[in-house]
Amino acid sequence: MLFFGFGATDIGNQRERNEDAFLVENEAGWFAVADGVGGSAGGHIACKLAIEEFKQRMTEEGNGLTDESGQRVLRGINNAIVDYGLTHLSTPNLATTFTAFVIKNDHQGYLLHAGDSRLYGFHEERGLMPLTQEHTLANEKRKQGQDFVDVESENVLVNCMGNFSMIWSEYRQIDLANYDAFLICTDGLNKMVPQPRLEQIMRGSWREPKACVTRLIDMALQLGGFDNVTAIVIKRQ
């Protein structure tokens, strides 16, 4: 194992059920989180489907992803969720965010991403750096140069898994040499805990992923825990 990760999830302080899911496969180098969209009837199903389909697709494709095979994995996840919704009338509109990090070797990794969950890279000197963009209406407005963005648009996704017209997905390579550790999380963490506090926790405990994840989730709960919260911390061995 070139890298070692640990992940955990918590229902939070106000939700009735957990609509987050995650995957940690240290031997394979696969790490992922999914956050069922909008608290809808099928959010808890969609997130689990995304993780299960990702694992199946990666088993078929292997870690030597290309642009073509990476997009094939993402389309497969999206189609599986759409198909499930169409054949189960009780959950016709399944959707979920999805953020995955695949480690190919000691210097190269891949990001697969749709929605507003996040991947961060951490370096002792440079701190905590977001490696994903949020596919939200608010972020689209900022790109268009709008100075004022209403709070509601922060929670409106313009792209996710399970969308009949999935617009795009982020798939790109990441140079692992630039980072000491990585954090993958759902928005129940990064929207509750300010980035300077996330960085402080990472700086103090990234070498012990289990302790670091526990501290991150505990902080989100202490600050309100309004949503489900999931985190994975990955360090170089």
pLDDT digits (tens, 9 = 90+) for 10-21: 999 999 999 999
Convert the pLDDT of each residue in 83-136 to its tens digit.
998 888 666 678 899 999 999 888 999 999 988 899 999 999 999 999 998 776
Q: Half-sphere exposure (CA, 13 Å, Cβ side) for 26?
A: 14
CATH number at residue 13: 3.60.40.10
> Looking at 83-92, 98-107, 144-153, 211-220, which range is the least confident one?
144-153
Question: In the predicted model, what is the mean pLDDT of the chain?
Answer: 89
Range of the domain at 100: 3-236
Could you tell me the pLDDT band of residue 217, with boundaries at 50, 70 and 90? very high
**How many domains does one find in the chain?**
1
Convert the pLDDT of each residue in 169-189 to its tens digit.
788 899 999 999 999 999 999
